[in-house]
Chain A
Amino acid sequence: MGIRFILLVNKQGQTRLAQYYEYLTLEQRRALEGEIVRKCLARTEQQCSFVEHRNYKVVYRRYASLFFLVGVDNDENELAILEFIHLLVETMDRHFGNVCELDIMFHLEKAHFMLEEMVMNGCIVETSKQNILTPIQLMDKAS
C-alpha cells in the first residue's frame, strides 16, 4: 500500500477534504492534520515538496489557495505522487471547470467519488481522466 492519506487544505489550514486509507481515531487524525499542515504551510516555494513526519512522508503541492497533501510510505516514488496530485487536480478541473475551494466544499461527495475512482486502498486504480469521470457523469445525467 503506497498512499496512506490524502488531504486538501486551504491556506488557512482548514481541512477541505480528507481521505484516509488506514484507520486512525478522530483524535489521531486531528493531531496529525494539525501537525502536518503546520509543517507544510510554513515551507517556502523554493523548498522541496517533501516533508518527513513521524513515519510518513508527505508529498504536497500548492494550487492557488489549496494545498494537496498526500501521505505515503517511505518506499513510494515521491515524484510519481507529485504527478498524481497533478492528475487529480486536472481531473477536478475537467469536471468542475477550473476547480476552486468552494467547488470541493459544496460538492464534497463528488470530489470523493472522483478520488474513489482514482485510488482504492492506497493504490492507484485509474489514470485516464475520461475513465475516472464517466461514472460520475452518468450519475449526474441520471439525477
Chain B
Amino acid sequence: MNPFSSGTRLRDMIRAIRACKTAAEERAVVRKECAAIRAAVSENDQDYRHRNLAKLMFIHMLGYPTHFGQMECLKLIASSGFPEKRIGYLGLMLLLDERQEVLMLVTNSLKQDLNHSNQYIVGLALCALGNICSAEMARDLAPEVERLLQFRDPNIRKKAALCSIRIIKKVPDLAENFISPAAALLKEKHHGVLITGVQLCTDLCKISTEALEYFRKRCTESLVKVLRDAVNSPYAPEYDIAGITDPFLHIRLLKLLRVLGQGDADASDCMNDILAQVATKTESNKNAGNAILYECVETIMSIEENSGLRVLAINILGRFLSNRDNNIRYVALNMLMKAVLVDAQAVQRHRATILECVKDSDASIKKRALELVFLLVNDSNVKPLTKELIDYLEVSDQEFKGDLTAKICSIVEKFSPEKVWYIDQMLKVLTEAGNFVKDEVWHGLIVVISNASDLHGYTVRSLYRAFQISSEQEILVRVVVWCIGEYGEMLVNGIGMLDKEDPITVTESDAVDVVEIAIKRHTSDITTRAMCLVALLKLSSRFPSCSARIKEIINQHKGNLVLELQQRSIEFNSIIEKHQNIRSSLVERMPVLDEATYSGRRAGSLPTTVSTSKGASLNLPNGVAKPAAAPLVDLLDLSSDDTPAPSSSGGDFLQDLLGVDLALPSLSGTSQAPSSGADMLLDLLSIGTPPVQNNVSTADILSSGTDTKKPVVPLERLSSLSSPLPTQVSSAGASPVMDLLDGLTPNLSTPGDNGPVYPSTVAFQSSSLKIMFNFSKQPGNPQTTSIQATFTNMSSNAYTDFIFQAAVPKFVQLHLDPASSNTLPASGSGSVTQSLHVTNSQHGQKPLAMRIRIAYKVNGQDVLEQGQVNNFPAGL
C-alpha cells in the first residue's frame, strides 16, 4: 500500500480538525488530507476509496473544494457492493451538481441500478436521481421512473413519486405521462406514498393545466375523503405528533385542495365541509395543530368564496394574532398579508393589533407587521396610521429606521390628501430620521415644495424651526438650505402666514446663520456644502444687508481642497464682485419644477431602451474628447443643435457649466452617488429636463421620440435666467453662459443668425447600409461642426449590437455622443441616429476627412464595414 495514501482513519482526521485552534491550522490539516486523498485517487487505491470519500464529504462540508473526488464517486457507484454504492451515491449528491459534465457518465450506472434486483439499490438510485437529475437524464430515465411508480414495495413508490417531480420540472413535456400514475397513488394507504403522491399531483397541477383539470374532475372528492380519514384517524403511534396523526400529510392535502379549489366553484364547494371541520376541530394548543390551522386558513382564503368559512378563517387569524407565542404571531401576520388582498375589511379590524406588532422587539415580526401596515393604508386611514408610524420612528432602533422611513415616505407620497399635510409629515420624518431618507424622496419633496406656491413661506419657516431642533440630519439640512436659498425673504418677512402658524421673528442675519452653520458643520458632505454655496449666492442679492458677510463666507472656500467647492466659491465671488448688474436676475427664484417630468423620471422610462442605450454608450471606444475637457465646445454645439441626442451631453455640459463635478467619490467620501449629486444640482438649478445619468436621460428622450425640443429646454431656462431675451434661444443662449465661465461681458449675437447651411451628404453606402450626415454649425465658432449621422439598414435582416466608430486626422477633435439605439430594424423601416461633434483646428486650411468603421451582428454573425468619408461640404 502506498505509504502516503490515507494514513489516518476518518475518525482521526475529524479529531485532528477539531483539535485545530486556528483557521490556518485547520487549512493545513485539510491540505494534507486532500494531498493524501489525491495520491490515493491517482494510485487508483481500491481499499480506501470508501473511507476517502467519507473524508472528502467532511472536508466539503467545511467548505473546501473537493472536485477531485468526483470521479471516485462514479467508481464507487459502479462497484457491486451495497455499502460502496451507498457512499458513492451520497458523495454524488453532495459533491456534484447537475452542471458538471461528470453527470453524463453516471446516467448509465443509474439506469442499471434502477433495474437492479435489490430494492434497496433501486431506492438509492431513485434518491440520487431525484436530487441531481438534469434535463437529459430526465428524458433518458423517465420510463424507468414511471415503471417504478407501480413497484411492489411502497418505499420505492414514494421515492419514485418525488423523482417524478424532479423529472417533470426539468422536462415539462413529460408531465402528461405521469398524470394517471399520480392519480393512482392517491388511493394508497401508506403515508409515505400518499404524502409524496399528493406532492406530485400538486406539482403536476402547477405545470400542466391538463393535469389540473384532470385532478379537479376526478380526484377532488377522493382527496376530501383522504383528508377526512386523516382527520378522523385513530391514534397511530408511528405518525402521531401531539395527538394528531401525521400533520405533514394534512398540510400537503390542504395545499393540493387549495390548488384544485382556486378558481373553481364546484371543487371549492366540494371541500367546504371538510375545511370547516379542520378549522373547528383542530386543537390549537400545540404547534402541530396550529400548523394545520394555518394551512387551512390559507386554503380557505384562496378557494372560491364561502362567507361562513371566511369568517372562521379570519377569527382563527385574530386568535393567532393575539397569541403570546411569537411564532404564531409571525405566521398570523404573514397570512394576513395574503388575506388583505381577499378581504381588506376584515383585516382592517385588526389594525390596532398589527400596529402594536410593528413596535415588537423581534425584528422578523416588526418587518412583517410593517409590510402589512403598508398594505392596509388607504385614503381614509392614512393620517392616523402615519402619525402612529412617525411617533414610533422616534423610539425605534437604528437598524429598523431605514425600513420604517422608506415605508412612511412611500405612504405619505402615495396617499397624501393635501400638500400641507405631505410637507408636514416629510418634515417630521426628516427631523427624526433624515439620514435614512433616500435621495429621490427628498428630491420629490423639493419638487412639491416648489409647486406649492402658497406654502413657500410656511414651509421655509417650518424648516427653519426644524433646523433649530435637529441640525444633525444631513438631508434635513439640505432641504433647509435649499428652501432658505430660494425663499429666504419669505422667512424674514413672514409672507404667506397660515392660520395655524405661530408667528416667528427671523432676521436676515439669522437666515444666513443657518446656512453658515450648515456649511461649517464637520459632518456636512460636499453636496450639502455645494448647496450651501448656491444658497449663499442667492441670498447675497436678496439680503443686501448681509451681502458683505455672505461674500466673506463664500471667500473662505476659495482655498477649499475640494475642487468643486473651490471653483464655486471663486466663480460666485466673481459674480458678486464684478457683475452686480446681472446678479439679481442671475439668482432669481427658480422656475417651478415640473412635477410630471419628475414623477415620470422616477417611474423610469422604458427599461428596454435604457438597456440598449446603455449598450450603445458603453460600446463607444471613440468617445474621444472628454466632455469635461471641452465644455465650451459642447456648450456651443449644443445650442445650435436640435437633435435629440445631445441631451446626454447636455447633462455633462450643464454640470460643467455650473461647475458641478461631483464625480469625485474619493474626495467627497460620502455615500452620495455622483450621478444623484448631479441630479440634485440639476433639480436645484431648475433645469427641467431629466438628464440624471447619461444613459437614462438618453432613454428618456428616445422614448419620447418626437420630443426634439427637450434638449433645448435647459438652455432656454438658462438664457432666461441671465438675459431677458428668451426668444434668442438657440443662438444667444450660449453667450451668457460663456460669460459665466469666462467673465466676459455679455456678447449677444444678432438674433436669428443660425449660421451657414450645409447640404446633407451620403457619407457611406453599401448594399446593406446607408449613412447620411447632416451638418450644422455654431455661429461664432466656425471650427466646430455638429454632425448628425443617420444610419439606415438596407437589408432584410435586423442588425443588433450596432456600433459606429469614426477616426479623424490629428488636427481634428472628435466627440461622439451615444447612438439612439444599438439595434437597426430591417429594410429601412427605422433608423438610428448619433451625433458627432468635430472641431477642426485648421479650419479654412484643411478640409475635414474621416474614416469610419461600422460593426454589427446579423443573425448572430459579426459583420464589419469600413469606409472613408471625403465628401464633406466645403467650409467645414
Contact = CB atoms under 8 A, between A and B. Distances in A.
Contacts of B451: none
Contacts of A86: 241
27 contacts: A15-B63, A23-B99, A26-B63, A46-B326, A47-B364, A77-B251, A78-B331, A79-B288, A79-B328, A83-B288, A84-B248, A86-B241, A106-B10, A112-B57, A123-B199, A124-B248, A125-B192, A126-B155, A127-B191, A127-B192, A127-B195, A127-B239, A127-B248, A131-B238, A138-B120, A142-B82, A143-B83
Interface string A25-66: 010011001000000000000111111100000000000000
Contacts of B87: 109
Given A26-B63, A123-B162, A129 B326 contact: no
Contacts of A108: 54, 57-58, 61
A112 B57 CA distance: 10
A23 B97 contact: yes
A125 B330 contact: no
Contact of A80 (B62, B64, B251, B363): B251
Interface string A101-121: 000011011001100100011
B123 interface: yes
A52 B90 contact: no
A116 to B, nearest CB: 5
Given A18-B61, A82-B287, A124-B195, A130 B238 contact: yes
Contact of A48 (B63, B199, B364): B364
B297 to A, nearest CB: 11
**Interface SS majority for chain B:** helix
Interface in B2-17: 10-11, 14
A83 B294 contact: no
Interface in B144-165: 155, 158-159, 162-163, 165
Given A48-B329, A126-B158, A112 B241 contact: no
B733 interface: no
Contacts of A18: 61
Interface in B355-404: 361-365, 367
Given A29-B63, A80-B295, A127-B191, 13 more contacts: A23-B97, A30-B63, A47-B326, A78-B330, A108-B54, A109-B90, A120-B130, A121-B131, A125-B162, A127-B195, A130-B238, A131-B238, A143-B83
A86 B328 CA distance: 17
B158 A125 contact: yes
B183 interface: no
A106 B251 CA distance: 35
B724 to A, nearest CB: 57
Given A17-B61, A77-B295, A48 B82 contact: no
A83 B162 contact: no
A19 B61 CA distance: 9
Interface residues of B, number: 68
Contacts of B331: 78-79
Contact of B123 (A1, A16, A106, A135): A135
A18 B90 CA distance: 13
Contacts of A78: 327, 330-331, 334
A68 B390 CA distance: 38
Contacts of B329: 48
A19 B198 CA distance: 24
B364 A51 contact: yes
Given A30-B63, A121-B162, A125-B159, A80 B248 contact: yes
A87 B165 contact: no
A60 B16 CA distance: 29
A48 B326 contact: yes
Contacts of A17: 61
Contacts of A143: 83
Contacts of B241: 83, 86-87
A21 interface: yes
Of A19, A33, A109, A131, most B-chain CB atoms within 10 Å:
A109
A105 B10 CA distance: 10
A105 to B, nearest CB: 6
A120 B200 CA distance: 12
Interface residues of A, number: 51
B543 to A, nearest CB: 52
A130 B127 CA distance: 18
Contacts of B249: 127
A79 B63 CA distance: 30
B83 A120 contact: no
Interface string B309-336: 0000000000000000011111100100
A106 B249 CA distance: 33
Contacts of B62: 15
Given A78-B327, A127-B246, A139 B83 contact: yes
A29 B330 CA distance: 27
Contacts of A112: 57, 90, 94
B196 A123 contact: yes
Contacts of B75: none
B63 A126 contact: no
A128 B192 CA distance: 8
A51 B362 CA distance: 10
B166 interface: yes
A76 B365 CA distance: 17
A21 B131 contact: yes
B238 A83 contact: no
Contacts of B130: 120-121
Nearest to B18: A105
B98 interface: yes
Given A23-B98, A125-B159, A77 B61 contact: no
Given A29-B63, A83-B291, A120-B127, A128 B159 contact: no
A120 B159 contact: yes
B247 interface: yes
A109 B294 contact: no
